[in-house]
Amino acid sequence: MNQTAREWICLLKDLEKPVKYLKGMGEKRSGLYEKLGITTVYDLLYHFPRYYLDFTCPVQISQAPLGENCILRGRVVKKIPAARIRRDLTVYKAVFTDDSADITIIIYNSGYAFDKLQLDCEYFLVGKVTGNMLRREINSPQIFPADMCDLVQPVYHLTEGVSQLLLRQSMHEALKAFDRFIYEPLPKWVMQKYKLCSLEYALKNIHFPQDMHACEIASERLIFDELLTLQLGMLMMKERSRLSSGCRMKDVSIDDFYGSLPFTLTNGQLGAVNDCIKDMCGESPMNRLVQGDVGSGKTAVAAGAAYFAFKNGCQTALMAPTEILASQHYETMTEFLSPLGVKTALLTGSMTAKQKKLVKEGIESGEYSVVVGTHALVQKSTVFNKLGLVITDEQHRFGVEQRALLAEKGEDPHKLVMSATPIPRTLALMIYGDLDISVLKELPKGRQPVSTYAVTGKLRERTYNFIKQHLDEGRQGYIVCPMIDESDSDLRDVKSYAKKLSEGVFKDYSVGLLHGKMLPAAKEKVMEEFKEHKIDLLVSTTVIEVGIDVPNATIMVIENADRFGLSQLHQLRGRVGRGQFKSDCVLITDNPTDEVKQRLKILSSSSDGFRISEEDLKLRGPGDFFGSRQHGLPKLKIADMSRNTDVLRSAGAAARDILAADRKLEKRENACLKELVNMLFEKNLSDN
């Protein structure tokens, strides 16, 4: 390891120190910082400003646009005596000028802020200018003395007890780590080729920029670093899976599988199974994505691939994002495969230690050929006898590194990924690397599209009757309520709503409740009862969004539908229309604006997930897609892949150049980068 690399590692150690060791910090404050997601000095330095207040070019008061946030510079020429309007309202006013025009500062209740204002002193004001051209006012502005030293002020996300000032002080302390070491993680040639400033300059100027130009230079460097690290990690993972040999399989027949299924596979399903078989017989391991709309029957494809692996004497691991889904897949796999002599096991986090131990023993001995589970499956203590195939369902909900972890378990197993999220191609390449793709275009025969109606809350009673019609015919239904966050009040809402329904309109039916905060065992019990039709109507939050399969459910009502994205609504709606019965979906909104109507109309007119997601992207922009973290990429701090496309491209080119010369980042000049890649991907793992 060369000098810079060693220093970098030292520095990283310095940066990995908890913030509480910073001067002026201590336990109590560091506790507050944790609320901002900041535990280490590194976290602090990478807690970037949301935006900046640029005091270098204030607007003239006479030119200040009304109704917008402005920065003004001027002096106080007159302070008007306070006016006490009510017991709890005192209004302070002062006249402020910059010689282009006057403006009245209005301050409510804060006598302290008002007293601090000194006549004939220069100040900056930040706030919204209101009134008219003749009488301008600025209400409760932020006030800064004009002789302050930093003319560009960062504005951070704060939390109670942590002020901008405090954050800036800590930032200052944190940056001192850089005084002890000189280091630069990027190879020189990369910095030169892409005209990047040093990391030290970047971090100093993102937090304490001299001017906006310096700030841009700084952020470009930090965005580059982030996107470079990300792409290095992705490329290395891809490389790893490409190089290794995999469990090469023999092309044995699985006709008995086709024969024992309760239905005939669609052409798309058959094609996808055959794609898998061909891949698994090849030299390098399979790396395939099966993309199919909700209800297209991806699980049967998974079962086919798993059976093929079984016939080749290999085990299959099937990972699902939730426990409910895992146990459902477990049942499906058992149903499809146990008649063929395949033993399937379920392994989830909520099982007792004893149960887990037993299952793990069976996995290790090879007794179980198919293992279905949540990510508990990837835990280090699970040892496979001969893992040949890893299947991940709805993988955009997993972190990439989880996939990588499991891949390391076997002898480079084949990988199959199932996803219902239609991702635009450019993004798919980023997320899935170079996966091969099989698309299930058609739905199984005999499916009738779900009729979808968007209505306002006025029709709620009628909607309830509509549900009853379905229930009276022996079918089942869902009512989905959104939760903005899983706060107590939201949860209470869902609970009390369920209670109200079960004691009121639906008192003659059995009503169940399902939400994300329930214990896994309780969730499972409810799902089980719903499946067995002990529950007629399930009131639920969006936990049912992913992959629940109860063909007898034919009606879904979604409350506050306007709060969901279209793709999510489409996924939700995919829970009905899974059997031979005609199904309906009612979207209720109490907020029928034109925009909402336009969006919901798309759903009632289309059942094509790809088209819906495209419309969704158009309406909401790709920022949302990347914002939602559903893609499984590590969380980015500063880069925005939908906006920083130029940097994305140049960093991608740099990543490829770097790896072309040093496949595993083993050269000295790349030692720091390797560390960064590990950090980015590890950090994300611990977040999950």
Contact residues for ligand ADP, defined by CB under 6 A:
263-266, 269, 292, 294-300, 420, 444, 547, 549, 551, 578
What SS3 class is residue 296? Answer: coil
| Least Cβ distance, residue 550 to Mg ion (angstroms) | 13
| Least Cβ distance, residue 323 to ligand ADP (angstroms) | 16
| Least Cβ distance, residue 501 to ligand ADP (angstroms) | 27
- Report what 409 binds from Mg ion, ligand ADP, none; CB cut-off 5-8 Å by kind: none
Helix axes 323-337, 520-531, angle to 10 degrees: 50
- Report what 296 binds from Mg ion, ligand ADP, none; CB cut-off 5-8 Å by kind: ligand ADP
Choice between 218 and 546, CB closer to Mg ion: 546
- CA–CA dist 578, 296 (Å, integer): 9
Q: How many Cα neighbours within 13 Å face the side chain of 306?
A: 33
Choice between 546 and 651, CB closer to ligand ADP: 546
What SS3 class is residue 401? Answer: helix
| Least Cβ distance, residue 328 to ligand ADP (angstroms) | 8
Handedness of CA 157, 682, 415, 380 (dihedral sign): negative
Residues 398-427: x/- map of binding to Mg ion (CB under 5 A)? ------------------------------
The strand pairing partners of 97, in sequence order, are: 75, 102
Q: Which strands form 370-373's sheet, in the order they lie side by side?
A: 344-347, 370-373, 315-319, 387-393, 414-419, 287-292, 436-440
The single residue among 127, 547, 577, 632 that binds Mg ion, judged by CB under 5 A, is: 547
* Residue partners of 628: CB distance under 8 A and separation at least 6: none
β-pairing verdict for 89-97 and 69-86: antiparallel
Using the structure block, give the residue that is written with the tokens 């390391």.
408
Q: Among the candidate windows 231-239, 251-259, 300-308, 541-549, which touches Mg ion by CB under 5 A?
A: 541-549
Choice between 394 and 412, CB closer to Mg ion: 394
C-alpha to C-alpha distances, 308 to 213, 279, 352, 420, nearest whole angstrom: 59, 12, 31, 23
- Report what 306 binds from Mg ion, ligand ADP, none; CB cut-off 5-8 Å by kind: none
Choice between 262 and 341, CB closer to ligand ADP: 262
Q: How many residues does the chain have?
A: 688
| Least Cβ distance, residue 541 to ligand ADP (angstroms) | 20
Choice between 236 and 306, CB closer to ligand ADP: 306
| Least Cβ distance, residue 570 to Mg ion (angstroms) | 14
- Report what 189 binds from ligand ADP, Mg ion, none; CB cut-off 5-8 Å by kind: none
Percent of residues in the chain assigned helix, strand, coil, to nearest 5: 45, 20, 35
- Report what 287 binds from Mg ion, ligand ADP, none; CB cut-off 5-8 Å by kind: none
Angle at alpha carbon of residue 524, lines to 519 and 530, rounded to 5°: 130
| Least Cβ distance, residue 105 to ligand ADP (angstroms) | 60
Choice between 233 and 547, CB closer to Mg ion: 547
**What kind and span of H or E run contains 86?**
strand 69-86
| Least Cβ distance, residue 547 to ligand ADP (angstroms) | 5
DSSP code for 35: T
C-alpha to C-alpha distances, 601 to 165, 577, 595, 606, nearest whole angstrom: 48, 19, 10, 9
| Least Cβ distance, residue 307 to ligand ADP (angstroms) | 15
* Residue partners of 458: CB distance under 8 A and separation at least 6: none
* Per-residue tokens: 127: 């706030």
- Report what 187 binds from Mg ion, ligand ADP, none; CB cut-off 5-8 Å by kind: none
Choice between 548 and 600, CB closer to Mg ion: 548
CA nearest to 527, candidates 504, 508, 546: 546
The strand pairing partners of 152, in sequence order, are: 54
- State which residue has the least CB distance to Mg ion: 547
- Report what 549 binds from ligand ADP, Mg ion, none; CB cut-off 5-8 Å by kind: ligand ADP
Choice between 360 and 396, CB closer to Mg ion: 396
Q: Residue 593: what residue type? A: T
Choice between 449 and 627, CB closer to ligand ADP: 449
* Per-residue tokens: 632: 């499984």
- Report what 465 binds from ligand ADP, Mg ion, none; CB cut-off 5-8 Å by kind: none
* Per-residue tokens: 614: 């495209």
Q: Among the candidate windows 400-408, 532-540, 542-550, 569-577, which touches Mg ion by CB under 5 A?
A: 542-550
- Report what 416 binds from ligand ADP, Mg ion, none; CB cut-off 5-8 Å by kind: none
* Per-residue tokens: 139: 């209400």
- Report what 565 binds from ligand ADP, Mg ion, none; CB cut-off 5-8 Å by kind: none
| Least Cβ distance, residue 268 to ligand ADP (angstroms) | 9
Choice between 420 and 511, CB closer to ligand ADP: 420
Choice between 107 and 440, CB closer to ligand ADP: 440
| Least Cβ distance, residue 318 to Mg ion (angstroms) | 11
**What kind and span of H or E run contains 456?**
strand 451-456
Q: Using CB under 5 A, list all residues that contact Mg ion.
A: 547
